[in-house]
Structure 1
């Protein structure tokens, strides 16, 4: 089964120069030199990242499959991340919030198109990046997936069939809507190596990397060490309970804490 690492933005100095601003998003942004060390640690393992089509078509041992994804569509994908990946001979998966294409801190349509031409996979991360996607009604979910998929397909002049769930708010209804929109592959933020199927849609878990994730832990996940994978699952499930029980209050408290920390940096 595949192990999928998910990153967001990679910045030179100011965390607000790429992607969404504020303390919450900054928690998931890495300085450029730190990201370079992450890639070096992954390269030192026995597993090299592959792309989704390779995984789907491969007869190789699935336990050795490693994929790397990047959410939001911040401009650092084009300015920093793609070059760093390509220096290793790798390509990544970039999931784009289409309402923000061309806005400050985000990629333009031309940059999205260029990433695809360079061999990277482009997918949708919804239109508007809802704060709690799993709480959206069915028609809203379908609209988020369908419109964003159509926008990206028009930009690339080829069908876009992969997506990732914003904010980690995954549910069965989110997958049902994704499948109805024409997506064939959907990535969540739940740390799992199991691939499930919902109405023909393949659903993959991912292991999130944030600014304070130790490089040793990234390497352990990439290598498939069982304790590292189990640890991520335990932490996630505790956090999931807080998300579900806390609802919007959880989001408000999280935003307050992370914004205060961000201002102190």
Structure 2
């Protein structure tokens, strides 16, 4: 199972509409990491968007709890106010974390025109790869929105692993790999239920049906 974070503390840039609900307090973050570290479960951690808080608060918190993560910055936001700098991305890599791509401009990857596909899936990856001087072969889908054409394009371009926001635990190496995103209203009890794979029958069925629909569209 994978827990996904976005922003921690006070944003240092203007947020997109609806984005604020994915920012959590420093206290929430530390409590959540404590639960993850002490759960005894096999839990991955990811960060989307490349916010400055990934470096200022996210990475230090991970170090305190002996954890690592995969960071998915937006290539078009590198070196801009409130987002990661190129040097900070390299530092995250040197600390034992992995770097993937979240695309270029934080837009949907469904029904992409050829020019959009080139920028989001090719140029963004190239910019991040040049930044860290290593291949980038992992991608996190923006907004959790995808269809069969999206997955086919990512596979054709050689991405080794692709992450969604479908939630739930998983076995093996599904395509895409589901993640559970914390929000400002997420409680420790919510996280404990996820870590115990205790989401309930009807939520599980809805999640499975939603993923199946997106996979086959």
TM-score with structure 2 length normalisation? 0.87
1:38 aligns with 2:36: no
- Taking the aligned partners of 2:91 and 2:145, their CA distance within structure 1 comes to 30
Corresponding position of 1:5: 3
Matched residue pairs, number?
Answer: 211
Corresponding position of 1:17: 12
**Deviation above 6 Å: which 4+ runs of structure 1?**
237-240
Aligned 1:74-93 pairs, distance under 5 A: 74-93=51-70
Shift of 1:194: 5.0
Q: 1:228 aligns with which of 175, 194, 199?
A: 199
Shift of 1:133: 2.0
- Taking the aligned partners of 1:235 and 1:36, their CA distance within structure 2 comes to 30
- Taking the aligned partners of 2:115 and 2:157, their CA distance within structure 1 comes to 11
Corresponding position of 1:59: none
1:105 aligns with 2:94: no
Cα 1:140–1:230 change in 2 (3 A) is farther
Aligned 1:103-182 pairs, distance under 5 A: 103-130=80-107, 132-137=108-113, 140-182=116-158
Cα 1:189–1:176 change in 2 (3 A) is same
Cα 1:109–1:229 change in 2 (3 A) is farther
Gaps of at least 5 residues in structure 2 are: 212-217
For the aligned residues, what is the CA RMSD?
2.4
Cα 1:196–1:176 change in 2 (3 A) is farther
The superposition leaves residues 26-58 of structure 1 with CA deviations (integer Å, 9 ceiling, x where unpaired) of: 1001111111111112223122xxxxxxxxxxx
Corresponding position of 2:167: 191
Q: 2:187 aligns with which of 202, 214, 218?
A: 214
Aligned 1:239-258 pairs, distance under 5 A: none
SS in 1 for 2:130: helix
- Whether the 8 Å CA contact 1:75–1:106 is kept in 2: the answer is yes
Higher helix share: 1
SS in 2 for 1:90: coil
- Taking the aligned partners of 2:110 and 2:34, their CA distance within structure 1 comes to 35
Gaps of at least 5 residues in structure 1 are: 48-64, 241-265
- Whether the 8 Å CA contact 2:103–2:124 is kept in 1: the answer is yes
- Whether the 8 Å CA contact 1:191–1:229 is kept in 2: the answer is no
Corresponding position of 1:28: 22
